[in-house]
């Protein structure tokens, strides 16, 4: 992300998002943040490559889910959300289009991907709660 395109609020939101990603990277349903770099003119995030597409696209493509399939997806999502909440992280705008890859919760990845596309951080969707 180009620093020149970011407002001070964007930088603050990005800092919070990086902190949240570091807290969640150990769980297998969250994209892993391997490293972040703060260079003179850009910020770089090195993220795990997630393949498999977004949950929303799979739901639309499949059209119908069996109860067993739906239960599996919801169980994975709720386990991931519980993990995040247990570490003091809350996502304030979770939707199927932000879940990717392994049918798990990759909200941070989706948010970071949008950042690369728009060069504007989406950290306002993530809150790291103070303990």
pLDDT tens sequence across 16-65: 989 999 999 888 888 899 999 999 999 999 998 877 777 777 777 877 88
Q: Which residues are catalytic?
A: 93
Contact 121, 6 (CB under 8 A): yes
pLDDT tens sequence across 81-95: 999 999 999 887 777
| CATH assignment of the domain containing 62 | 1.10.510.10
Question: What does pTM read for this prediction?
Answer: 0.66
CB atoms closer than 10 angstroms to residue 31: 27
Contact 104, 29 (CB under 8 A): yes
How many domains, the chain? 1
Residue range(s) defining the domain that contains residue 34: 3-128
Q: Report d(CA 65, CA 103) in Å as an integer.
A: 13
């Amino acid at each position: 992300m180009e620093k020149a395109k970011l407002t001070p609020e964007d930088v603050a939101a990005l800092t919070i998002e990086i902190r949240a990603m570091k807290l969640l990277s150990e769980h297998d349903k969250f994209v892993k943040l391997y490293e972040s770099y703060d260079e003179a003119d850009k910020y770089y995030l090195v993220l795990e490559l997630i393949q498999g597409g977004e949950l929303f696209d799979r739901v639309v493509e499949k059209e119908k889910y069996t109860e067993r399939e739906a239960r599996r997806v919801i169980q994975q999502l709720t386990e991931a959300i519980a993990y995040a909440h247990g570490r003091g992280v809350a996502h304030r705008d979770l939707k199927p289009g932000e879940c990717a890859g392994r049918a798990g919760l990759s909200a941070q990845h989706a948010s970071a991907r949008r950042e690369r596309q728009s060069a504007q951080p989406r950290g306002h969707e993530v809150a790291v709660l103070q303990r």
